[in-house]
Amino acid sequence: MISFVWAEDENHGIGLDGHLPWHLPADLHHFKEKTMGHPILMGRKTFASLPHLLPGRKHLILTHDKKLKVEYSQNDQVLIFANMQEIQEYLDAHKDEEICAIGGVSIFNFLKNQVDVLEKTEIYHSFKVDTFMPEINYEQFELVQREDFNADTKNKYDYSFLTYKRI
C-alpha cells in the first residue's frame, strides 16, 4: 500500500529552497505518527531537508548521487534507488507493506496513479514557495477523516489533517 504524507499551503505550495516554508509543530508530530514504523520514500532533495535519519523508519531514497550510495551502503536504515524502475520493483515486492511517499514532486508524480491513501495537512495561509504539490484527482478518493485546528501558541496557523482513501 502506498500513502502520500505531506503538508501544503492554500496555494498547494510544499517547499521553498528545499525546505518547508513554515514551522508547524503539530504537523511534525502528525508526520511522525503517520510514518513511524513504515518505510519513507523520497527524492534526494527531500532527504537532504531532513535534520537527520528519522528513527523507526527505513529511508528509501531516489538519487543518482554515487557519494550518497557509498556513504549509506553499510546502513540498514537506508536504501538507495538509481531510477524509478528500481523503485517500482521494490514497491511490487512489498505490496503488503505500507510505504509512505513524502516527496518530492517527481516521487508524487510517479506514484499518483498508484497511491492508496492521502495523508494531507492543509495549512490555511499562503507562503512564499518555489515547489508545488502535483495535481491529484480527488474524485478518485473519499475523505474518511478530517480534523480541524485553530492556531495556538505553538502553531501559528490554522490547519487541518485530512485522510483520503482511494475509492
What CATH number should be reported for the domain holding residue 144?
A: 3.40.430.10
- φ, ψ (nearest 5 deg) of residue 23: -125, 110
Residue 102's domain comprises 2-166
Beta bridge partners of 99: 2
Mean per-residue pLDDT of the chain: 97
Number of domains in the chain: 1
pTM: 0.96
pLDDT digits (tens, 9 = 90+) for 91-112: 999 999 999 999 999 999 999 9
In whole angstroms, give the CA distance from residue 100 to residue 36.
Answer: 10
